Amino acid sequence: MPAAGAGRRMGADIPKQYLQIHGKAVIDWTLETLLSHEDIETVTVALSSQDEYWPDTQSAADHRIQTVAGGRERCHSVLNALEALSQENDENDWVLVHDAARPCVRPEDISRLVQQASAHGGGVLGVPVHDTMKRTDTQGRILETVERDRLWHAFTPQMFPLGKLHDSLQAALAAGIAVTDEASAMEWAGCQPLMVEGASSNIKITRPADLLLAEFYLSL
């Protein structure tokens, strides 16, 4: 679970994964959902070397959690976690990578991802695009309308065999590929992950307005 970000776009005094929602840190909401899922045994959390908040979380005392050092970008944090997992697990074991900043993920969507991705060699939770999509120039002037048929928002968890994901991510980064999610490394390696539709409420807390939305979703 990548949790080593600074949360710059949130503009808060602390990293967004430690902001409180209904009295509980974002990261604790996310970890509680993951660790209460029947298909998830342990979680490896990538933390910033400057992180001073983790020890005060509810999750820090959970023996099912190990922590590793995060990296410069999300992909480096994920690779560090995969390297730690590779020391203790079989390369054919399944791994799910999920953002600490996505606390609203639903257990039933994780179950659907596990069921469908395990039969397909890997998969990603997401939702189809429902709006007309535009690409603009740097001044915001519309250049084109992007064909939205079969266009998806990729979320997390993203689920792949541990060894294949580790090796593909390591090779993609070594080749200078811009890797913003695990599936893009697997695609670069020639795989065709499955998109698995989940709830649009599985938002990534990125900007202040997202926190209000997450508060609503987590009050349901």
Ligand X SMILES: C[C@](O)(CO)[C@H](O)COP(=O)(O)O
Ligand Y SMILES: Nc1ccn([C@@H]2O[C@H](COP(=O)(O)OP(=O)(O)OP(=O)(O)O)[C@@H](O)[C@H]2O)c(=O)n1
**Residues at the contact surface with ligand Y, assessed by CB under 6 A:** 2-9, 17, 46, 70-74, 77, 99-101, 204, 206
Nearest residue to ligand X by CB is 181
CB 109 within 8 A of CB 212: no
Strands 24-25 and 43-47: unpaired
Amino acid, single-letter form, for residue 215: E
Tokens of 158: 């993203």
Minimum CB–partner distance for residue 213 and ligand X (Å) = 16
Q: Which is nearer to ligand Y, 49 or 139 (CB)?
A: 49
7 binds, among ligand X, ligand Y, none (CB under 5 to 8 A by kind): ligand Y
Q: Which residues, 6+ apart, have CB-to-CB distance to 18 below 8 Å?
A: 25, 26, 27, 53, 57
CB 97 within 8 A of CB 156: yes
Residues 134-163 that bind ligand X (CB under 6 A): 154-156
204 sits near ligand X (criterion: CB under 6 A)? yes
Instruction: Write down the residue that tokens 């050092």 correspond to.
Output: 69
Q: How far apart are CA 122 and CA 158, in angstroms?
A: 8
31 binds, among ligand X, ligand Y, none (CB under 5 to 8 A by kind): none
154 binds, among ligand X, ligand Y, none (CB under 5 to 8 A by kind): ligand X
Minimum CB–partner distance for residue 3 and ligand Y (Å) = 5
How many residues belong to the chain? 220
Which residues of the chain form contacts with ligand X (CB under 6 A)? Answer: 74, 99, 154-156, 180-181, 204
